[in-house]
Chains A and B, each alone.
Chain A
């Protein structure tokens, strides 16, 4: 799971078009380099598009604007990968060229 921060978004916005194209190119290159192990995933639209529904408490669901957790980090996308173990996943993530935090979690089978 890829995690963006406010700072990362600001840095990205501050870039020139050429710099941004270069950053995007690096990400595309990473996906190409790891294509053999990537089995799925998506980039999510920015957090301002998020709507959260909470169903706790038994009453009507509460619908709110924004991501489920207000915080400095928001999930910006995910990739499903097929690797032998955590070390292989860690080695992949070490070369990830974009957002500053990546969470690795196994998929339930």
Chain B
């Protein structure tokens, strides 16, 4: 497979922007100023590299641009004289500071949307425009979110370091939540043809892999990485030739990346062996592995999936998880039992399209097509995702032509 030039560009920026940000924050002791310089260097690279080609040493190139820009800015502001001297030095060689960067960007004192935007910009090297495009948000909104977050970091004294051992588990959970949301957003909004130049799923996988490498003792980081990779391994079969979403039962499993599935499952097993009870990401990955390792839809180990959902619900009770458990119960005990489980969830999930789509499926299996059609229509009204819309419309029109 050849790599598209824009993907290569994204890869190189992702590999170096965060490192540059980390070393500039250390050097200047000023998160906001360092971040501005990196952003400027990234924008310059995105403008020039497509014509000039990616330089042999992209890290040195980016540092040179950031430094030149920094000197320009600092020269105009006399209070920064001391920092001016610091920037005259060549690129500092220091260990990977991106872990600290991630903890600062995902500090619990920042709102979630700001954590996400900041992580993308500072750690992954996305421009504000790219973030806005990926989240279908106005660029000014994203820019404002970032400015506000940077001010809070500076003025509220949010530190730039890896948290103390006692705080680490809670803070890692915060970083994982950001990566998971990023993955979900990218995965659900993806279509057969890539709508925008930056794929958030790539960034989420890359961040999870970076975190796993930097925090090898943290099993949930590996769990999230395995989860993302197991989902991605099925990418080629998620859409048909016409770009329509294909659900799991109908997917052509020969198009799955079976090597990637085996590797992710092995990562999960290795992680489970080294640690005590698995956390929520490991459990979700184990569920994804049950699906990915089944040769055919009919071979899916549903009883095992129900057990894993029970474990997950004990750790993180949520109506959405209960809905997914009900889908597995459908396969183990039949539609009647699953429908019973769905009843209690109605109030909590009234606005959730998958609730109504699942409800429709159960009603159809129970021979109640009119009610099923109503449920599908409710689901359709609630989803903004074009691929899901197409699927539901198709189901509704089938129902119309059925005898």
Contacts and interface: CB of A to CB of B under 8 A. Distances in A.
A87 B155 contact: no
Interface stretch (B53-61, B90-98, B157-165, B295-303): B157-165
A51 B83 CA distance: 49
A86 B109 contact: yes
Nearest to A89: B157
Interface string B141-160: 00000000000000111110
28 contacts: A83-B157, A84-B157, A84-B159, A85-B157, A85-B158, A85-B159, A86-B107, A86-B109, A86-B156, A86-B157, A86-B158, A86-B159, A87-B158, A87-B159, A87-B163, A87-B164, A87-B167, A89-B157, A90-B109, A90-B167, A91-B164, A91-B166, A91-B167, A104-B156, A105-B156, A106-B155, A106-B156, A106-B157
Interface in A15-64: none
Contacts of B156: 86, 104-106
A104 B157 CA distance: 11
A89 B157 CA distance: 10
Nearest to B152: A86
A39 to B, nearest CB: 15
Given A86-B109, A106-B155, 5 more contacts: A85-B158, A87-B167, A104-B156, A106-B156, A106-B157
Decide if the interface of chain A is mainly helix, strand, loop or mixed: loop
Contacts of B107: 86
Nearest to B107: A86
Contacts of B167: 87, 90-91
Contacts of B158: 85-87
A78 to B, nearest CB: 16
Which residue, of A85, A87, A89, has the highest number of chain B Cβ atoms within 10 A? A87
A104 to B, nearest CB: 8
Contacts of A106: 155-157
Contacts of B163: 87
A90 B109 CA distance: 10
Nearest to B171: A87
A68 to B, nearest CB: 23
Contacts of B159: 84-87
Nearest to A105: B156
Interface in A81-98: 83-87, 89-91
B243 to A, nearest CB: 47
A104 B108 CA distance: 13
Contacts of A84: 157, 159
A104 B109 CA distance: 10
A60 to B, nearest CB: 36
A91 B108 CA distance: 13
